Structure 1
Amino acid sequence: MLLTSIIIFIIAAAVSVFSAIRLATYADIISNKTKTGGLVVGTVLLAVATSLPELTATISAAVIDNANIAVGNGLGSITFNIFALFLFDLYFRKKRLFLKVSANHFYTGILGLTLCAIIILSLYFNLNQELLRIGLPSFAIAVVYLGGLWLISLKHQQEIDGEETTPHNTGKTDFPVKTAIIRFILFSLIIFVAGSSLSISGDVIAQSSGISASAVGSLLIAASTSLPDAVSVLVALRVANVNLAIGAILGSNIFNVFVIPIADIFYRNGSIWADASNQHISTAAAGFMLTLIVISILKRNNTKNTLTYITPSLIVVGGYLIFSVFYFLG
């Protein structure tokens, strides 16, 4: 049973990665040939599409009554996504891509900080009150998420109205936008299916191996379901579409938090927050700190040398690895 689950887990992860490569490619075409741009396409379109494994994995965990995998997957994906972002920044350090990022990602980052803060406070103070068998923290997260997205889109629309924006081309003149959109939807559906396989096989791995569900959800499943996000970022950075990459990560992170309230609807034992371990506070706190670092680099205009430039990335990559080891052993 354990070996079969591991094989299914690996196959599902591989399918997700392949689909993510195609998604990022088509998202780049859409952002370059329309007026939406990398920021919006990354924050909404690509972020949600590559986060479909988190959605299906989290909902599947809730259906099988595993609150810790559901909450852990959503929160663990935040830390892994930012880890991958800074890891790739180290790889592309000579290009110093992060100095070319739009400051508008600042608002998405602030929204991410707010959502992490709600989770930390809810778990720390045991805010498990329910309404219609759904935890009040879920309602708070949903309201903040949807309201934040509305304000971000409004801000972006004001900037579009204030300046003339024209689509730009990256040489893909022979690839129709309509075809890119159709294929984007197709690979989104493939990723959606793969996510359920990751969650169910991960639950079996947790039960068979003796590893805690919190660790499996926050590290193993979170990393696996976040592979599409990481791959899409790598593809975006390869074509120097840094706004698409940053938007995909920050947009994916806030969506990953939003999927927990969705999973709460499917959780049959009342509020999912009541059964979630306080161990998730450390994951949410790590996500908060990492998002804060992302926001800080958005404000950089220049750096003196390569070492100064890569210092934040070194801190994040090293910190994530240390956090993962202690969390897994704990």
Structure 2
Amino acid sequence: MTSYILVWLQLGGCALVICLAGPFLVHYAERISASTGLSQSWIGLFLLATATSLPELVTGISSVAAAAAPNIAVGDALGSCVYNLLLLVLLDAFTRDESVYGRIDQRHILTAGFGVVMLALVGMLVLVARDDLDLRFYHVSIYTPLLIVLYFVAMRAAFFYDKKLAIMSDGPPWEPDGSLGKAIRGYAIAAAVVVIIGIWLPFIGQQIAEIMSWKTSFVGTLFIAGTTSLPELVVIITAMRLGRIDMAIAGLLGSNLFDILIIAIDDIAYVDGSIYAAASPVHAVSALAAVMMSGIFTVALLYRPGNRFFGIIGWVSIALITVFLLSSYILYLQGV
């Protein structure tokens, strides 16, 4: 009984530390935006997304390099994508006066589109990149460079698209406030705390799977991914309180792109072969769920629905919750 309590206390402790680090990431990211003149959407897409995805990065690398648990690594990355999109429900619930999708800039459709492409590719790889299609250069899959290139193409496209919109809006010139160095140091310290916790998480995940007799793909996708997605949760709550909704959305979508990049990095770190071949094909369910949820989000941005059930959430949120619950149930039944 003591071991049961201890492992869950460890997971709760990791969650608490991540929650405490989250607001500092938003605070210092906003100060970096003010000091550099970069838009809040771009800061969210790059800086916030990178920082809040550091647990997935460290968890993934330690899962494949130290814990020999590729299912936890892939499940954590793809599960985090699903959790990030589920957080849109929370944003919708917070905006009681109107649907949140009426307040989000449509520029985020570009990032969501790149996310669909990368998620679909990973879903396909965990299904077919084995046996005769398990093509590798040494231990690294030949499909990994494609994911890396796609990520940087997405970042470049988002940067220039954001820059183009900024020129068209002809907004006021930015003025540096002289605190860039301090903001970068604060950001780095908060990010370092998140990294340290991320190193510990895969080992906790394996203990939970053993003690509870659960499947590692289920634990990695639901519990580890849920914990490593806590920075995104804290960030969007903080950003919403500050009225920075586009920074919050950019952070969520950017985290999804970075999480897919993490799978490519995990493949490089996994010396026993291709991570796509080692991971269970059931992870395609998470990838497909994230694709569906991204599609729902894109439709909502274009359609901008206004109807709300019980004055709390709209049909978009109900659809997102339904996809999440269905994919979680399938993983519980079919996971390994």
TM-score by length of 1: 0.91
Question: Which of the numbers 20, 23, 26 marks the counterpart of 1:21?
Answer: 23
Distance in 1 separating the partners of 2:306 and 2:45: 30
Distance in 1 separating the partners of 2:95 and 2:80: 22
Answering whether residue 41 of structure 2 is matched by residue 39 of structure 1, we say: yes
Amino acid at match of 1:166: P
Match of residue 294 from structure 1: 297
Answering whether residue 323 of structure 2 is matched by residue 319 of structure 1, we say: yes
Q: Is the 8 A contact 1:119 1:137 kept in 2?
A: no
Match of residue 328 from structure 1: 332
TM-score by length of 2: 0.89
Deviation at 1:176, TM superposition (A): 4.2
Change in Cα spacing, 1:59 to 1:167, as seen in structure 2 (3 Å) is: farther
Answering whether residue 6 of structure 2 is matched by residue 11 of structure 1, we say: no
3-state SS of the aligned residue for 2:277? Answer: coil
3-state SS of the aligned residue for 2:296? Answer: helix
Deviation at 1:13, TM superposition (A): 1.6
Amino acid at match of 1:316: L
Change in Cα spacing, 1:48 to 1:304, as seen in structure 2 (3 Å) is: closer
Amino acid at match of 2:54: L
% identical equivalent positions:
28
Match of residue 59 from structure 1: 61
Deviation at 1:145, TM superposition (A): 1.1
Count of residues in Structure 1 that have an aligned counterpart in Structure 2: 326
Match of residue 128 from structure 1: 134
Structure 1 unaligned residues grouped into runs of 5+: none
Question: Which of the numbers 151, 155, 159 marks the counterpart of 1:149?
Answer: 155
Q: Is the 8 A contact 2:76 2:221 kept in 1?
A: yes
Pairing 1:133-282 to 2, within 5 Å after superposition: 133-166=139-172, 176-282=179-285
Change in Cα spacing, 1:323 to 1:180, as seen in structure 2 (3 Å) is: same
Q: Is the 8 A contact 2:112 2:253 kept in 1?
A: yes
Distance in 2 separating the partners of 1:41 and 1:137: 29
1:196-240 alpha-carbon deviations (Å, 9 max, x no partner): 111221122223322111001111100100011111011111222
Structure 2 unaligned residues grouped into runs of 5+: none
Distance in 2 separating the partners of 1:311 and 1:163: 32
Deviation at 1:76, TM superposition (A): 0.3
Q: Which moved more, 1:35-44 or 1:276-285?
A: 35-44
Amino acid at match of 1:159: L
Distance in 1 separating the partners of 2:16 and 2:151: 30
Change in Cα spacing, 1:305 to 1:57, as seen in structure 2 (3 Å) is: same
Amino acid at match of 2:56: E
3-state SS of the aligned residue for 2:33? Answer: helix
Deviation at 1:328, TM superposition (A): 2.3
Deviation at 1:157, TM superposition (A): 2.6
Deviation at 1:317, TM superposition (A): 2.1
Change in Cα spacing, 1:56 to 1:304, as seen in structure 2 (3 Å) is: closer
Distance in 2 separating the partners of 1:49 and 1:229: 9
